[in-house]
Structure 1
Amino acid sequence: MTSPRTLLTLLVAFAAAFAVTSPAAAQSGISKTGLGYETGPDNRLLLGGEWLFRLDKTGLGDVSGFQKQTTREGWAPTTVPNAWNATDTSVESMTGTIGWYRKDFKLPSASKRFSYVIRFESVNYRAKVWLNGKPVGGHTGAYLPWEVRLPAGYLKRDGTNRLVIRVDNRRYPTDFPPSGLTAAGTPTGGWWNYGGILREVYLRQIDRVDINSVIVRPELDCAACDAKVLVRATLRNYSDSPERVRATVNFGGKPMMLGSAIVGAKKFATFSRRITVRNPKLWEPGSPNLYTTRISVRGRGENALRVGWLVKTGIRSIKLQPDGTMLLNGKKLNYRGMGIHEDDPNLGFAIGSAQRRAIIAETKEIGATLLRSHYPLHPQLHELADEAGIMIWSEIPVYAVKTQYLKQAAVRQLAAKELEDNIVANQNHPSVIVWSIGNELSSRPGPVQGYYIARAVRQAKALDPTRPVGIAVAGYPSAGCQSEYGPVDVIGINEYFGWYPGPNGVIADRDSLSEYLDSVRACYPTKSVVVSEFGAEANRSGPVEEKGTFEFQQDFVRFHMGVYASKPWLGGAVYWALREFRVRPGWEGGNPRPNSPVHEKGLLRFGDSSKKPAWLDMQQAILQTQQLGPPVT
């Protein structure tokens, strides 16, 4: 029998849900359903439903007044997330162009006490935003969230508001990842240049005071120790008058006070405390225990404000021993992982929840315990990894940036912003075990790269002192020992011995791999050395000696995994990649019979996700590996 209190709670919840998804709101596609991910602020409303889109190949949309148009002429209906070139594999598609998005919506409340913010989870690459024909902000960069406040004077509180976004996905050598032209005139780039609003867009309704950011950071001295958890919430008062607020935190079902204060008009306030957790249930692969943490902020008096934030954290420690051994909860790590790109033949980068869940399921099926991408992953992928006990090597897309551009202050500043945004966005996920500051920069780093590495490591440690910082480098014996890598904790080696020839054929002979790995270990005896990439293309059956055959890929996997198994000091290895994905026009990838632009080193085929024969070889080798050892005493 339902108690009166429970019934009242259900009625209040139903009324609140109805208010959000009223006919007017539903018509505008504003909803609390289908949010894409669970954790974060409570006040997110998905801007779903119908959007409008048009291309602007001439780049004259601003002059033509696209941002102020009221008719639908020239605009086609679409939905967001959206990659406008998801099925276009032409050179022109890779080079990039300009597209415009338009969305009409009504505010969920006409009350002037509410402020509004638009949150974009990822737009590629340069964006400008207008509200009701007036510019309100912009952003440069992809793969990370950003927000634009909607000025109260521009909002129509009772009418229809029009949001317009101009997206320019043309890439330059100073971008992340950079792009240019080959001698043959084809565009370069590490992966396909999908243009558009590639992840969700939200309207955030702010009742005077907003929770600006939250940190829930576990501190664990030893696996058998009690844990300390730092909980920190920063508030921002959007209103024109001071607001008295009270903040509480509920950690794992235990409520406690976080703080109270009067937050001045347009000011910030920060509350923090350390919580002691006795006999904590630790998070690790195979036992991904999570603690639900809810931060609540309440005001006083009539129409008191209410705002909340949800975090699901895991208590675990990540430490390096003096010999570079990485320990998770005091246990030696020797992970086997999979590289991934968010890509789909029909959706491009704008994949959905079903594809993200499939990635996690495939990773667990093959036995891997880590995922690595060349850019920050979708928030839901992080949540799913947290729940599944899958670790994440979290990397910013500072990929193959030439030294002549890296020495530019503006480029380094943008890289620093990418690193900061990644840590702020993803630091509460226990799945993240490494912050990676770059991939395949010059294999002979000079002062410019050395300066960048030192600054980036300091920045990452200041923002999050609990995790190691890594970098992925091209594995060439001729590179030798490099002192510029001194500040990092983890050296990731992208090794393709026996697949690519490398400079002057230095990695053509796979039998040189073992000696090379030992030389890297000798160069960096105090660092965790891992293989951050290895792989071979396969798209057909044929002789084992012929590159590009399934048989060659099987033999390649068995050989490399066997070498790794012989290195007790190795911290981990990542196969590149779990799934096939698009790279660029003319892509060969070392395959004498390529299928451009698809990267075919993947163990699962592009489109139908069917398994190649090497899947079983990889799975068997992974299952024979002890990825998390016994406690180290």
Structure 2
Amino acid sequence: MRFAFGRAGVVLWLMLLWPLAGHAQARIDLDHDWRFRTDSADTGLTAGWSGTTPADTRPIDVPHTWNIGKDDDYEGVAWYFKTFVVPASMLSSHVELHFGATFYRSRVWVNGVEVGGHEGGHTAYGFDISRQLHAGENRIAVRLDNRPGMATIPGYAMRQAASGNVWYDWWHYGGIVRDVWLTVNDHALIRRQRIGSKLAGDSASVSTQVFVESVDASGGSYTATARVIDPDGKTVAEARQDVAAKAGQPATVTLSVALPHPQLWNVGDARLYQWVTELRSADGTVLDSRSDTFGLRDIVIRDRKLYVNGKPVRLSGLTRHADSPWEGLAESTGTIRHDWSDMVALHTTLSRPVHYPQSDAVLDFADRHGILLVPEIPIWQFSEAQLKNPDLLALARNMMREMIEQDGNHASIFAWSVCNESDASKPGGRAYVDAMASLIHRIDPGRYVTFADADISIKPWKDAPVMHDVDFIMANAYFGSWSGGGSEVEPWLDFVDRTYPDKMVIISEFGYPGVFSPDPASADKARSENLLQQMDAFQRRSFIGGVIFWTYQDYKSHRNLWPGQTEGYVDHGVVDENRQRKPSYFVYEARNRPLSVSTQWQVREDGLHGFQATVTGYADTHLPSYPMRGYLAHWKAVDDRGHELGHGDAILADLAQPIHFDGAWPVPGKDAAVHLAIEVTTPEGVPVGGTTSDYHPLHIGSAHFLPNGDTQP
């Protein structure tokens, strides 16, 4: 495509010159220079705001939420407006307007014409706006409403009706909370692609179903070509197929390849392939392209255990709300990477990331760091009446379908969750779970289905038939607070073992809410004690495949606050809302290390010559435990004046068995003290544990190494 722009269109022209993998032939960023205002009386429609920008708007960029600052607790209608310039030459192309996510219910106008709307706050959607555009300045108006209701998702938590507080347990961040962009295509486009793979011995078969749409009035015939790029950046397979598409009707084509000797994606060791599909016209012109990463891995639940690539694993991690005082739900990639990097430092290998579909940045991070995920749609504390509502079921199905179609290629996702702490154990709730499971098994048959349940841990404990319907059980178990006394976890685990003898269990939430203690300091002390006691109990039961701590950070809410508060940050994290680490952070880190490191000094008559270190991965009786191959040990020794005596590296080929390695240096002096630090990292260089040791002829001591560089006696 070739466009002629005037001066006002220079920014658009520069954007069109910049190619983005994974999107249409041209993508135009629309994140900047929006106008915003609230509409508390909901009069914007009658006042004509869909066609004319009102006074008293303020400039913003998106992603944006209005629930930070002066509109912190505003719930209702608000509007976003943007103008942009389109060259006349673009009017012959197919143009779509896309939103990464808007919370919650949207209506969208282009040049005064309503082009569509969307319900749901965490999935992407878009509209064909080709007919609404004209040469020169164009205008977008978006009306958003973040008010919950009985049949919104999230909505009123009617299981909490007796409490008089039916808020859901996180903040109602309204706004355009992810990116906005245009796509421009000629002739045809790739709507999406669905990648599937299967391992068989020392080879893998991979296929992609490509969804093609013709945007020509008469349709057309095209060729789909594919390249597979391995984790080392080499093209290792290619495929091509012809596809015919009628105008306005989707068409699909399947491309398949075989990959001998594949590199496997694993827990903590993510090897990612890239699948690049190009759609070409008869003369070979590239009309559109799509690039997705994928991982080759085999994830199976067998004999109440979770196996990854044939090896049993027991995993741990934390969950995290998309919430911060500076961005709320409209998160930047920088905030996401900071938090998830910190969670990796806490040895996170499993997460139910939180109650709603996640940003691509979260899923990409998990893909690249070998973290298993169970994403969920935000049905929280819904009553049986809500779950039986046909309108809500239709919305839930659509939301789940959107999430799976958007995120289904991510290697990190191994299961989907259909609700949290709702009336699933009642007949109407069971019917809801079964209907959602049927949908998921039909559109994504390679993944497991479950939901997070709190009733299972509340006395009187009883068999719930719905638990036999899901692929594995996720239990929210707050022994030491909501579920009962901390010591009751042991008899409860016995009950679960007897009642569901064929089910693996993941503890989808555990932890200690601050409101059960008189102040934050004592709450965090109790939190540390509770997590150690509970994890030890979970570790003793082999059918516990993983545990997920609630939560990484304190998050904003109208619920679970200190007495007298009606809004604030829930004291439940190992870091506060500003990401300042609490003492429980370090307790959690130490308890969840996947290996141990010990040292023994090598001393002769003339002084200290070196050391021998032993690195040991844990067996699957330990929680956490998972295969660790190709890890590295780095050591450095300094004398009592800070002068380096020696350093070195050791390759830890496979920590299924203890590995010993030696380090040595010239004798530093018979009476010299020596400080030794050993750090173990993943193949990608992420610290996972280690030790520091101090030698002195009169005293030998040691301290544990923490991934952030601190030491703890």
> TM > 0.5 between the two?
yes
Distance 1:42 1:285 in 2: 35
> Alignment partner of 1:288: what SS?
coil
> Alignment partner of 1:563: what SS?
helix
> Alignment partner of 1:162: what SS?
strand
* Alignment correspondent of 1:421: 402
* Alignment correspondent of 1:228: 205
Tell me if structure 1 keeps the 8 A contact 2:383–2:422. yes
Distance 1:89 1:164 in 2: 20
* Alignment correspondent of 2:62: 80
* Alignment correspondent of 2:625: 627
* Alignment correspondent of 1:116: 95
C-alpha deviation, 1:104, in angstroms: 0.9
Letter in 1 for 2:15: S
* Alignment correspondent of 2:510: 534
* Alignment correspondent of 2:431: 451
> Alignment partner of 2:375: what SS?
strand
1:154 aligned to which of 132, 135, 142: 132
Distance 1:533 1:400 in 2: 14
Tell me if structure 2 keeps the 8 A contact 1:363–1:369. no
Distance 1:33 1:477 in 2: 62
Tell me if 1:376 matches 2:346: no
Distance 1:429 1:67 in 2: 38
Distance 1:250 1:137 in 2: 36
| Shift in alpha-carbon separation, 1:38–1:352, aligned structure 2, 3 A | farther
Tell me if 1:588 matches 2:565: no
* Alignment correspondent of 1:336: 316
C-alpha deviation, 1:466, in angstroms: 1.3
Listed as ranges, the matches of 1:156-555 within 5 Å are 156=134, 158-179=135-156, 188-221=167-200, 224-252=201-229, 253-301=235-283, 304-321=285-302, 323-372=303-352, 373-442=354-423, 445-474=425-454, 475-500=457-482, 507-538=483-514, 549-555=523-529
Distance 2:320 2:169 in 1: 13
C-alpha deviation, 1:531, in angstroms: 0.3
Tell me if 1:125 matches 2:104: yes
C-alpha deviation, 1:411, in angstroms: 0.7
Distance 1:540 1:499 in 2: 7
Aligned-residue identity in percent: 24
Relative to the length of structure 2, the TM-score reads 0.78
More strand by percentage:
2
Tell me if structure 1 keeps the 8 A contact 2:511–2:550. yes
CA deviations over 1:511-552 (Å, ceiling 9, x no partner): 010221221232222222110001113499989xx9952211
> Alignment partner of 1:64: what SS?
coil
Tell me if structure 1 keeps the 8 A contact 2:157–2:381. no
Distance 1:572 1:592 in 2: 33
> Alignment partner of 1:59: what SS?
coil
C-alpha deviation, 1:51, in angstroms: 0.2
Tell me if structure 2 keeps the 8 A contact 1:588–1:596. no
C-alpha deviation, 1:88, in angstroms: 5.5
Letter in 2 for 1:613: P
Tell me if structure 1 keeps the 8 A contact 2:108–2:142. yes
Letter in 2 for 1:432: I
Tell me if structure 1 keeps the 8 A contact 2:170–2:556. yes
C-alpha deviation, 1:256, in angstroms: 2.5
C-alpha deviation, 1:108, in angstroms: 6.3
CA deviations over 1:178-201 (Å, ceiling 9, x no partner): 126967865511211011111111
Distance 2:269 2:236 in 1: 22
| Shift in alpha-carbon separation, 1:566–1:296, aligned structure 2, 3 A | same
Tell me if structure 1 keeps the 8 A contact 2:222–2:281. yes
Distance 1:413 1:439 in 2: 18
* Alignment correspondent of 1:8: none
C-alpha deviation, 1:310, in angstroms: 0.6
C-alpha deviation, 1:455, in angstroms: 1.4
C-alpha deviation, 1:21, in angstroms: 11
> Alignment partner of 2:580: what SS?
coil
Root mean square deviation, CA, Å: 2.8
Higher relative contact order by CA 8 Å / sep ≥ 6: 1 or 2?
Answer: 1
Unaligned runs of 5+ in 1: 1-15, 501-506
Distance 1:580 1:195 in 2: 20
Tell me if 1:56 matches 2:29: no
Letter in 2 for 1:139: H
* Alignment correspondent of 2:632: none
Distance 1:29 1:163 in 2: 19
Tell me if structure 2 keeps the 8 A contact 1:376–1:394. yes
Tell me if structure 1 keeps the 8 A contact 2:193–2:208. yes
Larger Rg: 2
> Alignment partner of 1:478: what SS?
coil
C-alpha deviation, 1:489, in angstroms: 0.7
Unaligned runs of 5+ in 2: 230-234, 595-622, 629-653, 657-713
> Alignment partner of 2:544: what SS?
coil
C-alpha deviation, 1:400, in angstroms: 1.4
More helix by percentage:
1
Distance 2:93 2:34 in 1: 24
Tell me if 1:611 matches 2:581: yes
CA deviations over 1:574-612 (Å, ceiling 9, x no partner): 00111111122xx335x56979421211111112x1111
Instruction: State how many pairs are aligned.
Output: 592
Relative to the length of structure 1, the TM-score reads 0.87
Tell me if structure 1 keeps the 8 A contact 2:363–2:410. yes
Tell me if structure 1 keeps the 8 A contact 2:157–2:383. no
* Alignment correspondent of 1:11: none
